[in-house]
Chains A and B, each alone.
Chain A
């Protein structure tokens, strides 16, 4: 398997623009997670899906952030409008349910977002 795939790897945009990050999970995984990593706050869970349904979005910082999972092989994280404080590395991860195959999460390579 190719692992979790994220695109783009790097994104530079101006404040106020819309940003869309994409993720393809590992085939067969039931869970998909979006994380944000910054020096100040470390790794933060933003939202996660089970079988394409959002389960917990309590980590989404503001209404400017939205995430969708239209099918089992694709998810997007959208920021509209973007702000400089959104600059971070955004990770997507996927996993089987806990108790089946350990539940450990496999991470994508991340998208480094810079908002100027």
Chain B
């Protein structure tokens, strides 16, 4: 069975600072994809960033970047220059072996002004 674990139920960061959200996963698949989704209070699930497992280079999207450690099965999200609009629930997700996304329980990020 595939699993995704987010060990930080809540995190907080000061505006303009950097924060890292942790995610570990387990899969027996050799080819898989990893995602971070953001869910603001509006409830809309928004794709933040994605990573293909066979790519060693870490993905980046503007202020968002990942640290993908395949051997350790770790996939953390770094948010630089945090903004008030970054406040949301963040979900790590794994896609491999089928079309079924496996989600972590989420991390609630608070951004303090």
A56 — nearest CB in chain B belongs to which residue?
B100
> Which of A12-20, A62-70, A105-113 lies at the interface with chain B?
A105-113
Contact at A42–B33, with CB atoms within 8 Å?
Answer: no
**Distance in Å from the Cβ of B52 to the closest Cβ of chain A?**
8
**Distance in Å from the Cβ of A54 to the closest Cβ of chain B?**
12
Residues from chain B with a CB closer than 8 A to the CB of A93 are 45
Contact at B103–A98, with CB atoms within 8 Å?
Answer: no
Contact at B91–A43, with CB atoms within 8 Å?
Answer: yes
Complex CA gap A89/B41 in Å reads: 13
Contact at A89–B43, with CB atoms within 8 Å?
Answer: yes
| A31: interface (CB < 8 Å) | yes
Q: Identify whether the interface residues of A are mostly helix, strand, loop, or mixed.
A: strand
Contact at B105–A48, with CB atoms within 8 Å?
Answer: no
Contact at B95–A106, with CB atoms within 8 Å?
Answer: no
Contact at A98–B44, with CB atoms within 8 Å?
Answer: no
Complex CA gap A50/B100 in Å reads: 12
Residues from chain A with a CB closer than 8 A to the CB of B50 are 102, 104
**Distance in Å from the Cβ of A53 to the closest Cβ of chain B?**
13
Residues from chain B with a CB closer than 8 A to the CB of A102 are 33, 50, 52
The 8 A-B pairs at the shortest CB distance, nearest first, are namely A107-B45, A43-B103, A110-B43, A42-B105, A109-B44, A31-B99, A104-B47, A104-B50
**Distance in Å from the Cβ of B92 to the closest Cβ of chain A?**
11
Pick 13 A–B contacts, CB within 8 A, sort by A: A33-B99, A42-B103, A45-B101, A48-B99, A56-B100, A89-B43, A98-B95, A103-B33, A104-B47, A105-B47, A107-B45, A110-B44, A110-B45
Residues from chain B with a CB closer than 8 A to the CB of A105 are 47, 101
**Distance in Å from the Cβ of A25 to the closest Cβ of chain B?**
13
Residues from chain B with a CB closer than 8 A to the CB of A34 are none
Complex CA gap A97/B99 in Å reads: 7
A43 — nearest CB in chain B belongs to which residue?
B103
Given A102-B33, A107-B44, A109-B43, does the pair A95, B99 have CB atoms closer than 8 Å? yes
**Distance in Å from the Cβ of B108 to the closest Cβ of chain A?**
11
Contacts beyond the supplied A43-B91, A109-B42: 7 A-B pairs with Cβ under 8 Å: A33-B99, A43-B103, A56-B98, A91-B45, A104-B35, A106-B47, A107-B46
